[in-house]
Structure 1
Amino acid sequence: MIRWRPGQPREVRWSRWESPVGTLWLAWWDDVLVAGEFGERPSQSFRDGRSPEQMPRWMERLCEDAFGGRAITFSLFAGELTPLEQALLSTATEIPFGSTASYGTVAHWAGFPGRARAAGRAMSHSPLAYFIPTHRVIRADGSAAACQRDPLNDRLRAFEGIVLFRRSGGIMRPIR
């Protein structure tokens, strides 16, 4: 569950955590997450001339719980996200570890039936990798959207044991 915080953070700090699927860079201010991304190095927006800091214990526990498949609750700055995007991203955090839901289902659960495309746009605007599990939100036919067909999303789904399908000659086949 996400507790959204309005406004912009003041003094952002950042650190790294070695996850089972690669290095996760996290930015925070006080007890509020600002952003998270995977990669060998953090993007320039993370560094902004500052050095990394020791990760606070609350963030270590959050990472351990998230990658351990346990439900998490955290605070996140809303930034430029609209209330609709916030609602859809919050709903995605309710999809259990190792499970998936379609864009349309996420929109319906969030109280916006028929807004599958809005759910897709919201997932593409997620500021926080993995904690907002956009890799669990898929197309209605059981396949990944084009923007989710990349090595990172494949690793995240494999880590959780998620198998996607694609239609081949009228038959749904697992993607390996």
Structure 2
Amino acid sequence: MTQDPLLTGLAALAVEPPEALLDRIAARWIRVPAPIGELSVAYTDQGVAYVHSGDGFTRAFRERFGRPLLPAARPPAGLVPALRTGRLSGLRLDLRGLSPFQRSVLEAARDIPRGEVRPYAWIAARIGRPKAVRAVGTALGHNPVPLLIPCHRVIRSDGAAGEYVFGPAAKERLLAAEGVDLERLRALAGERVFYLASDTTGVVCFPTCHNARRITAAHRHGFRSLSQARAAGYRPCRTCRPATDDIPA
């Protein structure tokens, strides 16, 4: 690892710089296990800032954040289980430097429960930018803390995983491990079914919503759009909150 000039200067001081000072001007990094293999994680005094796999971690971090990196003796408390489950449980994230749009996209993605997926258009609708579906995809593709913010739970409407910072194959493995049946979603999409409704509850949901998974075949009805389901007398689920009349993208 190339020595950072700032760290070289600090090393030349007559006394050791205090840890609090180092943590304000540098970031710590460590390799940790994750569901898709070992990952490099950088964190600052504000929280976890960057999750990366493969080569180029140091260069990519410096280009993005402009901070030198110091090795950490141990990961932040809660990091390893958070990478495994997507539940932060008090683990802080450092999302400084993101635009308000990027932050809103990631905050919406953070609300998707484990074992469920949403289309890109759902994110766009949730943040009040229903026509910004492509920009949503770009923002998710630049998520600095994948797994901790579960952008892998946002997929294409045809059931295809779509792009992912660690690759589509890793995205499919993560979703399968969480219990998402992508083959079923693809089959439904092939029939132009993007929403499922129950005639016993009068509620329409996204297919992976835990409420939709409880609908028995005899009481299940599929719809192409939310407006079509509403016209048939169904109300949107208050749990998965389908929020757009457009076919998911």
TM range (shorter): 0.7 to 0.9
Equivalence map 1:29-108=2 (5 Å): 29-39=44-54, 43-45=57-59, 52-58=71-77, 61-68=78-85, 70=87, 72=89, 74-79=92-97, 81-108=98-125
Q: Secondary structure at the match of 1:98?
A: coil
Q: Is the 8 A contact 2:27 2:69 kept in 1?
A: no
Give the drift of 1:158. Answer: 2.2
Q: Describe the shift of the 1:108–1:63 C-alpha distance in structure 2 as closer, same or farther (beyond 3 A).
A: farther
* Distance in 1 separating the partners of 2:161 and 2:25: 36
Q: Secondary structure at the match of 1:14?
A: strand
Q: Is the 8 A contact 1:27 1:46 kept in 2?
A: no
1:121 pairs with 2:135? no
More deviation, 87-96/29-38: 29-38
* Distance in 1 separating the partners of 2:61 and 2:140: 24
What code does the residue aligned with 2:74 have?
M
More deviation, 92-101/148-157: 148-157
RMSD after superposition? 2.9
Counterpart among 186, 208, 211 of residue 166 in structure 1: 186
Q: Secondary structure at the match of 2:74?
A: coil
Give the drift of 1:129. Answer: 1.9
* Distance in 1 separating the partners of 2:83 and 2:49: 17
2:34 corresponds in structure 1 to 19
Counterpart among 24, 33, 43 of residue 28 in structure 1: 43
Structure 2 segments unaligned to the other structure (5+ residues): 1-23, 63-67, 193-249
Q: Describe the shift of the 1:55–1:31 C-alpha distance in structure 2 as closer, same or farther (beyond 3 A).
A: farther
The number of residues matched between the two structures is 159
* Distance in 2 separating the partners of 1:167 and 1:111: 30
Name whichever structure is richer in strand by fraction. Answer: 1
Give the drift of 1:46. Answer: 6.3
TM-score of the pair, normalised by structure 2: 0.55
Give the drift of 1:32. Answer: 1.6
Name whichever structure is richer in helix by fraction. Answer: 2
What code does the residue aligned with 1:92 have?
A
* Distance in 2 separating the partners of 1:134 and 1:108: 16
Q: Describe the shift of the 1:29–1:47 C-alpha distance in structure 2 as closer, same or farther (beyond 3 A).
A: same
Give the drift of 1:66. Answer: 4.5
**Larger relative CO (CA 8 A, sep 6+): 1 or 2?**
1
What code does the residue aligned with 2:172 have?
D
TM-score of the pair, normalised by structure 1: 0.74
1:109 pairs with 2:143? no
What code does the residue aligned with 2:45 have?
D
Give the drift of 1:101. Answer: 0.6
Deviations 1:51-98 (A, max 9, x none): 63223442xx1331452353545322332x321111001110110111
Structure 1 segments unaligned to the other structure (5+ residues): 1-8
Give the drift of 1:122. Answer: 0.7
The structure having more radius of gyration, on CA atoms, is 2
The share of aligned pairs that are identical, in percent, is 32
What code does the residue aligned with 2:43 have?
W
* Distance in 1 separating the partners of 2:41 and 2:181: 27
Counterpart among 118, 133, 155 of residue 173 in structure 2: 155
